[in-house]
Structure 1
Amino acid sequence: MPSLKGKVQTVLGLIEPSQLGCTMTHEHLTMDFSCCYYPPTSGQEALSSQPIEMKNLFWLKQNPYSNRENLLLCQETDAVKEELLHYKAAGGGTIVENTTTGIKRDMKTLKQLSKETGIHIIAGAGFYVDATHPAETRAMSVEQLAEVIVNEVTNGADGTSIKCGVIGEIGCSWPLTESENKVLQATAHAQSQLGCPVIIHPGRHSDSPFQIIRIMQEAGADISKTVMSHMDRTIFDEKKLLEFAKLGCYLEYDLFGTEFIFYHMSPDIDMPSDNERILRVRMLIDEGYEDKIVVAHDIHTKNRLKKYGGHGYSHILENIVPKMLVRGISQNKIDKLLVENPKQWLTFK
């Protein structure tokens, strides 16, 4: 697509890559995550339907997917707008909004938020995990799925003329389902036509990112323009992580601010702390991968907004960057993570 080459596509139109500034590569500004509701443990059932209050904030932090209201980020447009202004004041320039088909993407709200805050917002095309695929999606061929994705980037998504600027987050489970496999292949086909960035949500198993890259490579994807999300909850073994890093995609540590004891979606996983994330990022930099790391918070529930006592979209800029400096990551390296690497990734080829 010659008209997109060398540009970045936001919900307000094309911009120069140099305009992006500090970029969070994986966030949600409006979505419905009810597909991932987990009933509370025995004796706590009443908490699932209670409003968010100060007295249950700690419980919510530990059980974010067990309160139905907490999963409806789409109800918080005013609070998100306030958060984006705070993010801008802290030095933020761009948000990559990873809400895809299946979790209530809202292109009109994204455009409104961008207009009202001055933050560049880049919307995601494509499909989330199999559990959100309707029968219509499951019935599509790889070619038909690719056509849908290309159309969302070139013409507009969800019946609007507002265009997506990235494919993803493309949802994958473990084990990968047939429908997700087709979507991955369609993503590769669409990317090869568009020269656009791609971002993947891997399954919760350390082999999942390897499987995904293999499928995409075989389907013709450009791995150098692909981000593998959620590395902080996916590959813990250092040797295996470095083996994966050699494949050439971007490694995204995008759960900054998420610290809880019991991870309902995969109880075997010990969710790392922010300090542990920083040390892992420093290790990857020391191993020579500073050009292939991006960071974010993946805010997708209400309790992570400042309105509800959460850390908000500016947590990395306000709290993580100072700690990175203390831990020996230079400002130059931090600028790569926040500015240069997202710029390289988001620019159409």
Structure 2
Amino acid sequence: MSAVRTVLGDVPPGELGVCDAHDHLFFGCPRMPGQELSSAAAARAELTAFREQGGGAVVQWTPYGLGRRAADLPPLSRETGVHVVAATGLHQAVHYDEDTLKGLRGRLADVFVSELTEGIGTSGVRAGLVKVAGGFHALDAHARWTMTAAAEAHHATGATIAVHLELGTGALDVLDLLCGELGVPPQHVVLGHLNRSPDLVPHRQAAESGCYPAFDGPSHAHHATDWRMPDAVRALADAGFGDRLLLGADTTTAAARSVGGGPGMPHLLRRVRPRLLRAVGEDLVARVLTQNPGRAFAVRWPV
């Protein structure tokens, strides 16, 4: 039977409840000094605030080497009653120093598989997805390397591959590589940040592949404004892809957390959900927040 691999163990997909399909409890990047998500107390407060809005599950996309704090995730999940899914994977090269990347050469797929099946470091927490990233309208050598390793890990474990699309671009190139060249079934691919590039044509082309399009994170000033997102969701739903759509909040800095004065995880349910209810109706919003994430992240895990 397929299950979602949470930090407290595998659960049936129908038990996730309302799901934030892309977010971060912990995250730290050398490019953003002083903006790390590193406080367990703040993470607990954020999960509690999300739970108070009706949230039931959070999928953390923080990959290898960016401050996942995997050992802190199980107690946070138990204390707040929110399911948490952890990630393995690798972000864009700019997020790492050269020594880290050199140390992963020749063994990246093995690292991903180990973290999916045995655990992250000494924490014993097993990852439930592989997160990788594309570039702006292109795939560089680093993206091809990480996606090739992610595909190997998928073929070994069945794990879903979640892709950061830089400013929402490059979706078709990602699908050509992962699903075309590397043989990953599109129903095991999640494309993140499509809201940041509100071009309905590649949205439709990507959805036609069978992947899961994700609209995740409030817009920044230089991104597509939030008011266009409901139209994009409605267009895909009207085209018959309502059972594939995902939503997430993608909190990446301490200032963006609700406990830090930003929108944070609760924004997804306090503000995005009502906006979508007006645009597409209760049935579709319920599917997007509850049923679709279970299907997107549930696989038949190896023992």
TM-score normalised according to structure 2 size = 0.92
* Separation in 2, partners of 1:192, 1:238: 31
| Matched AA of 2:274 | P
- Residue pairs, 1:121-270, within 5 angstroms: 121-133=84-96, 134-135=98-99, 137-138=101-102, 140=104, 144-168=107-131, 170-174=132-136, 175-204=138-167, 206=169, 208-217=170-179, 218-234=181-197, 236-256=198-218, 258-260=219-221, 263=222
* Separation in 2, partners of 1:192, 1:222: 10
| Counterpart residue number, 1:33 | 29
| Matched AA of 2:21 | T
| Counterpart residue number, 1:295 | 247
| Counterpart residue number, 1:278 | 230
Q: 1:88 to 1:308 in 2, by over 3 A?
A: same
Q: Contact 1:130–1:171 (CA<8 Å) still a contact in 2? A: no
Structure 1 residues 279-321: Cα deviation after superposition (integer angstroms, max 9, x where no partner)? 2211211121101110011001122222222122111212222
Greater mean deviation of Cα atoms: 122-131 or 80-89:
80-89
Structure 1 residues 256-298: Cα deviation after superposition (integer angstroms, max 9, x where no partner)? 3x342xx4xxxxxxx1222221222112111211011100110
Q: 1:139 to 1:309 in 2, by over 3 A?
A: closer
Give yes or no for the alignment of 1:12 onto 2:8: yes
Structure 1 residues 71-114: Cα deviation after superposition (integer angstroms, max 9, x where no partner)? 2111x321221121121121111000010013222101222211
TM-score normalised according to structure 1 size = 0.80
Q: Secondary structure at the match of 1:288?
A: helix
- Residue pairs, 1:307-318, within 5 angstroms: 307-318=259-270
For the pair shown, which has the larger CA radius of gyration, 1 or 2? 1
| Matched AA of 1:340 | Q
Q: Contact 2:60–2:86 (CA<8 Å) still a contact in 1? A: yes
Greater mean deviation of Cα atoms: 101-110 or 336-345:
101-110
**Shift in Å, 1:251:** 0.6
* Separation in 1, partners of 2:139, 2:85: 27
* Separation in 1, partners of 2:119, 2:103: 22
Q: Contact 2:30–2:95 (CA<8 Å) still a contact in 1? A: no
* Separation in 1, partners of 2:3, 2:251: 26
Q: 1:100 to 1:82 in 2, by over 3 A?
A: same
Q: 1:81 to 1:156 in 2, by over 3 A?
A: same
| Counterpart residue number, 2:68 | 105
Q: 1:204 to 1:87 in 2, by over 3 A?
A: closer
Q: Taking every aligned residue pair, what percent have the same amino acid on both sides?
A: 25
| Counterpart residue number, 1:90 | 53
| Matched AA of 1:343 | G
**Shift in Å, 1:160:** 2.2
